[in-house]
Amino acid sequence: MAEPRVKGADSPRGWSPWRTVVGFGLVSLAGDMVYEGARSVYGPLLASVGASATIVGLVTGAGEATALLLRLVSGPFADRTRRYWTLTLLGYALTAICVPLLAVTPALGGAGLAVAATLILAERLGKAVRSPAKSALLADAAEHVGMGRGLGVHKALDQIGAFAGPLLVAALVAYGAGRLSLPLAALAVPGAASILLLIVLRSRSRSLEQPTPTDVTEPATTVAAPTPVRLPARFWWFAAAAGLCTAGLVTYGLIGFHLTQGHLVANAVVPLLYAAAMAAGAVIALITGLLYDRCGPWILLALPMMVAAVPPLVFTASLAMVVTGILLWGAAVGLQDSTVKALVADLVPRNRRATAYGLFAAVQGAGALAGGAAAGALYQYSRTALVIAVAASQAVALLILITRLATTPTPIRD
């Protein structure tokens, strides 16, 4: 079957696929300045309102689980209703509102921890609402320019925001003598920018909410009716391996907690190191995206090995080793959030991508919740046990990837 053409690609009224990819990249750049800037100081913020290492691991792990597990609902809902743009806009709005409100939590006394945890979870809910819909819109454009390359370029722009946000936070933390309220409040500016950019992009580019020729020929009741989820077995095996990788990839909240509680760096340096990790992720996203298009999904075998190497580096008393581990952590995040998504898009039919992204993220979310809680508890009990547990989980993930990629056919395009 010939690849579907992007409506408006040849029309002066529409944007080309590359413009759509770059447009989504700019939206993600502004959005990532908001939530990655905040995420870079979640450890110190939660510690300042009375959280222990276990609570930090639980809250940040539950946040990632919320962002992933609830896509189990938002992904199929996006495919069923075709409200891709509406869900994307709603999700970014939640992030733009919740993150600046974190600025008030240090002044709330005993209620500060509960409010901070609630806002963190609400912000991650925004990620869950928008991500499958946005990923489907993005993949629809990226398949016309090379799935790995398109998603790699998008992720690189995304990571620029993830780099700039923590830099802004670090500068404002230093200006405020270690206080976190000013930098969190300042993130309202890029939050508003992400919404405005998204509105412009929606007005200029093709919308999947418009009926396709197939939709037009089908009865309206058929289009609106729920479709049974029947995704290929190879998708589920890949989701299981990715879930194990997500479980093993410790949250930066716990890394930041280790940095501050171990007196390795000042509060202002924590977001700087996070920014460096995001820069590493941008480079890896571009490189692995190109390699994916040229060499296939075997490049993903690097992910579990990278994840396993992070804990023995970051949870030490040596700042040099910790920095190395943080850069490796960022590289793993970049690979996981770009090239991994390219394979998901290639493993399933085009009209089931939002559903697939939602289900895939739900598996990752289960891993994030279990991994975040376990990592926080093991960090307090025995860091050696934490290193061993992560290594064992990644060995299983690597075995699954090797056996399944060997039997995976050429990615489908329909």
- Band the pLDDT of 53: cuts 50, 70, 90: confident
**Average pLDDT rounded to a whole number, residues 10-22:** 66
What's the pLDDT band for 214 if we cut at 50, 70, 90? very low
Q: By the 8 A CB rule, do 124 and 10 touch?
A: no
The better pLDDT of the pair 210, 125 is held by 125
Predicted local distance difference test score (pLDDT) of residue 284: 85
8 confidence band (pLDDT: 50, 70, 90): very low
Mean pLDDT in residue range 97-105 = 90
The pLDDT score that the predictor gives to residue 87 is 92
Q: Taking residues 28-38, report their average pLDDT.
A: 89
Average pLDDT over residues 330-344: 81
Q: Which pLDDT belongs to residue 1?
A: 33
Homologous superfamily assigned to 17-208+230-405: MFS general substrate transporter like domains (1.20.1250.20)
Domain ranges of the chain: 17-208+230-405
Mean pLDDT for the stretch of residues 350-366 = 79
Q: Which residue has the tokens 């993600």?
A: 28
Q: How far apart are CA 6 and CA 150, in angstroms?
A: 14
Report the range of poorest mean pLDDT among 188-192, 319-323, 367-371.
367-371
Average pLDDT over residues 168-188: 84
CB count in 10 Å sphere of residue 263: 8
Residue 14's pLDDT is: 53
Residue 396 has pLDDT above 90, yes or no: yes
Could you tell me if 181 and 103 are in contact, meaning their C-beta atoms sit under 8 angstroms apart? yes
For the chain, the three-class secondary structure string (H helix, E strand, C coil) is CCCCCCCCCCCCCCCCHHHHHHHHHHHHHHHHHHHHHHHCCHHHHHHHCCCCHHHHHHHHHHHHHHHHHCHHHHHHHHHHHCCHHHHHHHHHHHHHHHHHHHHHHHHCHHHHHHHHHHHHHHHHHHHHHHHHHHHHHHHHHHCCCCHHHHHHHHHHHHHHHHHHHHHHHHHHHHHCCCCCHHHHHHCHHHHHHHHHHHHHHHHHCCCCCCCCHHHHHCCHHHHHCCCCCCCCHHHHHHHHHHHHHHHHCCCHHHHHHHHHHCCCCCCCHHHHHHHHHHHHHHHHHHHHHHHHHHHCHHHHHHHHHHHHHCHHHHCCCCHHHHHHHHHHHHHHHHHHHCHHHHHHHHHCCHHHHHHHHHHHHHHHHHHHHHHHHHHHHHHHHCHHHHHHHHHHHHHHHHHHHHHHHCCCCCCCCC
Nearest to 82 by CA among 201, 223, 176: 223
177 falls in which pLDDT band (50, 70, 90)? Answer: low
Q: So what's the pLDDT on residue 169? A: 86
Q: What is the pLDDT of residues 137-172, one digit of tens each?
A: 888 877 777 777 777 788 788 878 878 888 888 888
- Write down the pLDDT at residue 409: 55
| pLDDT over threshold 90, residue 201 | no
CA atoms in the 13 A half-sphere facing the CB of 96: 22
Task: Say how far apart CA 348 and CA 345 lie, in whole Å.
Answer: 6
Of the listed ranges 64-73, 122-131, 244-253, the one predicted with least confidence: 64-73
- Whether the per-residue pLDDT at 223 is higher than 50: the answer is no
Q: Is the pLDDT of residue 12 over 50?
A: no
What percentage of the chain carries pLDDT values higher than 70?
Answer: 88
Q: Is the confidence at residue 57, as pLDDT, over 80?
A: no
Cβ proximity of 267 and 173 under 8 Å: yes
Provide the pLDDT for residue 395: 94
CB neighbour list of residue 96: distance below 8 Å, 6 or more residues apart: 31, 34, 188, 191, 192, 194, 195
Under 8 Å between Cβ of 329 and 249: yes
Q: Which residue has the higher pLDDT, 284 or 341?
A: 284
pTM of the model: 0.67
Band of residue 206 on the pLDDT scale cut at 50, 70, 90: low
| Per-residue pLDDT reduced to its tens digit, 238-278 | 888 988 998 898 888 788 888 887 778 877 788 788 888 88
Please compute the mean of the pLDDT values over residues 183-209 and round it to a whole number: 83
How many C-alpha atoms does 119 have within 13 Å on its Cβ side?
Answer: 25
The predicted structure's pLDDT at residue 218:
38
Q: Quick one: average pLDDT of 13-27?
A: 79
Q: Determine the average pLDDT of the residues in 212-239.
A: 56
In this predicted model, which residue has the larger pLDDT, 123 or 210?
A: 123
- Token couple for 390: 């992560």
Q: What is the pLDDT of residue 175?
A: 81
The rounded distance, in Å, linking the Cα atoms of 196 and 214 is 32
Residue 13 pLDDT more than 70?
A: no
Contact present, 33 and 245 (Cβ < 8 Å): no
Lowest average pLDDT, out of 2-11, 292-301, 331-340, goes to: 2-11
- CA 226/CA 216 separation, integer angstroms: 17
